[in-house]
Each structure stands twice: as C-alpha cells, then as structure tokens.
Structure 1
Amino acid sequence: MLRPSQEEQLSRLSRSPVATAPSVSPSRASLVDLAHEELLRLIADRELTEGERIIIDQFARSFGISLIPVREALARLHAEGLVTFERNKGYRVAPRPTIAELERLFEARWVIELGAAELAIDSCTSAALDDLKAINRLIAKGSYGTTFRGFRDFVTLNERFHVELVALADNPPLAEAYRRLGYHQKITRPTSGRGPGDVKRFVREHDLIIRALERRDRAALREAVTKHIASGLERFEDDASVTGADEESGHGSVSRVRASQRRPVLNVAPRVRKQGP
C-alpha cells in the first residue's frame, strides 16, 4: 500500500511532460537528460519539497523508463547540490540555498569570470567576441515568461554566454572550475516562478563586457564584470525579500540579514585587493 507521500509523488508525475510524452526510443543519455530536467522542474517549482524523499522506482515507472537513467539524473542533481544522498536512505531534496550561501557562490563566480576575462583580454579574437555577441542577441530576442521551462530557456542561453566568456582564457582548469561551480544549476531554484527579470539589463551588461574586451580596457572590464555579477546578486536578494522564505529554515529574506553579516559582491574587489601583496 502506498504511503500518502508516495501517492502525491505519483499524482505529480502523472501530470509531467515526460509521463505524457509520445512513445519514442531515445538514447540512454537523452533519457538521463529528460529525467534530470523533469526532476529539476519538480524541485524548482517546489512540487518536491525540502527534505522529501525521492522514490526512484516510482519516478522510473511514471516516466516509463528504467531505474538507471533516473539514478544517473539524481547523481547529477547531487553533484549540483540540489539533492542529498545517504547510504541506505537514498536521495532527498536538499535545502534551498541561504542568502549567505548565494553570496559566496557569486563571489566564486566573480573570481573565476573576472580572472578568465582578464587572462583573455590581450588575446581574444574578433571571431570569439562575435560568438558572444550572437549569443547575446539570442538572449535579447527570447520570450521567457515566468514558467520553469521559459526560465530554463533563458538560463541555458545565459550559461552559454558565460561559459564562452570563461573559455576565452584558453585555460582548461579554469573552465573546469567554473563548470564544477554549478552556478547556473544552483540559481534555478531561487528564481523559478518569477522569470529571469530585466532581460534588457542583462543584455546591456553583457554588451559592456564585450566592449571592454574589444577595447582591451582592463579597468572597464573589471567594472563591467563586477557590476554584472553584483546586479545578479541583487536580483536574488530582491526575490528573497519578496518570497520571504521560512525564517526557521535559515532562508529568511534579506531584511532579516544584518548588513554587517552580508558580503555583497560589489565589495569583493576592494577586499581582495587589500589582501594582496
């Protein structure tokens, strides 16, 4: 007999796009991608809640696939910090990131992206910058709305822009560090249901980064990258203020975080410089 939580999971899954998709014979890799995307949607939309156990065999049956792609999708989500795993207990939905955790994530992103851009400033080619411009045009043309899938469309394009920006440095360890950071996966949960926000602002800020690279202007590049990342953090802080998550869970709004405890990215550059030789 199914427990109530199991019945709820089956009910949610029966409405999922994966469960209602036409019968095809996709590759194992594509099945993993489908399972990963649908699990991510359920987590981002809070249909799977913090601490809820993810019952693999029920997901596999509802998706109409074997256990293996679901396990691989969960392993990917675990690496991205979106689910937890305990031996003999299985997977559960991880707690949503706190404001302090998001601030540190944005700081790490700032260090990697600015470092990569500064390494690339003297060697990046016109063709590489044209690629960044093309991606930015695609971002500008998109129509995203507030649904999970619309937001994921934005995240995918935005991730392409920033991955290409880091790739300009031609430094595989740096690119791998950025990939492992998992920034674009981690931001999906806090903003799902609200859409990407001011897309025109993101596009303008990307343009400023590209122009600074074209002019080989290090000061302008540093300012453009720092302000872009700071504006992204401000967006999360605004979201937290609006959603006002449960105070007991540690996910309270920014208004409940004392200024002395916060580490805004706009203050990162001065702090790092002071610590230098």
Structure 2
Amino acid sequence: MTPLTAWINGIGLIAPGLPDWPSARAVLRGEAPWVTAPSVLPVPALLPPAERRRASRVIKLALGLGLEAAAGDDVARLATVFTASGSDGHNCHAICEQLATEDRHISPTRFHNSVHNAPAGYWGIATKSMAPCQVLCAYDGSFGAGLLDALGQVVLDQQSTLLMAYDSEYPEPLHGVRPLPDCAGVGLLLEPVATPRSLARLTAWTTDASATPWQHATLEPLRASVPALRGLPMLERLARAEWGEACLDYLPGLQLAVRIEAA
C-alpha cells in the first residue's frame, strides 16, 4: 500500500500503572519504574449529569484518551476514529448474567451501552461534535485498523483526526477465554500539516515482514495482552526521540510498519 503520513499533535494513554501519557513517557524513557496498579479512569466531566451516571468503564476510558490527546484543541472540529477489539466487557458480562435468569428484561441503560459505537455516541454528547466519526473492530488488529483509517482521513480529506483505541477487560467466566488484564488504550491527535504543537511525523504502511520484537521486558506483557496497546513500541520511539522504524502486530500474515521522525 502507499505509505500514509500525518503529524502527531497529541497523545493520550491509560493503562494499568500508567494513568496518563506523561507517566507512560517517563516509564518508556527509563526515567521511572513501572508499578502495576489498576487503570485509573477519569471522571467524564464534559457529560451532562444523567449521562455521566450511566457512563461505563469503557466510555470513561475512551473519553479520557481522546480528551488527553486533544487537550487545548477545539475537539468539536475533529473527525474521530474509535476502535476496539471487543468494547465493553463488563456490560457484556452483566447482560449475559441477566439473560441466564428467569427475568430476561434488560435495562435500557445496559442495552444502549451494549452497542459497539456507544463511546462514540457519548463523545458526541460530551463535545457536541458534528464532525465525521468512524467506529471499527478488527479483533486483535483493531489498533492497526484504526490507525490506518485515521491516517486515511488525514491524507485524503486533509482532516484533523482523533484516534481512540481502547479495550476493556471481561469478568469471569469470559475472562478465561479473553484474558485482558484491565481496561487500557491510546489516543492520537493526527494532523495533515505540521504545526508548532507537532510532536513527530508518523508514516505507516502494511507489510508482510515479521513484527519487530519489543525489548521492553516490563511492559511487553501489557502490549501483548491488550490489542489497543499494540502501538507501544511506536510510542517508545517517540518518547525517547529515537527516530526510525518499527513493525507492529496487525493481522495474521500482515503487519503494520511505522516510521517516526522529528516534526
């Protein structure tokens, strides 16, 4: 495929022991140790009170990632891409539990939070955005699919685009067959041209080359177990200003090559 290029203007990150991008950047640079801890989900303060009460873990996660990555920007102007391998594990579990009882009535809140595009709907309510929005799922390849979609909008439409890649853990018994350790994800604000805020230049293309083994022994289990964190090797290059290429896991037999350069 033809390489796609954009400029990274903002990053959001939430993961176990990594409550935000500055914390993750310090760990990726080797300036701070990674200490395992449950993921910290910010309160979705932009939502009206009723929607705030109904917001699930995955909705808080997606909004937190997007708002951190787009901090200081007019979020209503941004096209958005939401991508997740399975979305809301806890809500799925609760619905399955209810359906296994004699009373199979599902609450309206459970039902409307069950759809894959629920975080995108809450984002629209919170930000009042009328910009284009895409919602994707490609199982373990969801990060790569979302990044390619976002880059395509940036390049073809010359549209500032906010990518939110996120995943939520499942309680047992689903956890036994889909063992995500916690909810986690990455947000990227991508621009078609460089600005004074640009952090790096990103170029991506598909390849049949093998994915580059990641040498960060501490965080490798997180990268491997949470599809939304497949981009951590790319973010490590950016955090360390070690410009160059990495090959990320994407789909079986197809990887995603990325090159990070100074802005």
* TM-score of the aligned structures, taking structure 2 as reference length: 0.25
Q: Which has the higher contact order (CA 8 A, sep 6+)?
A: 2
Which one has the bigger strand percentage?
A: 2
Which one has the bigger helix percentage?
A: 1
* TM-score of the aligned structures, taking structure 1 as reference length: 0.24
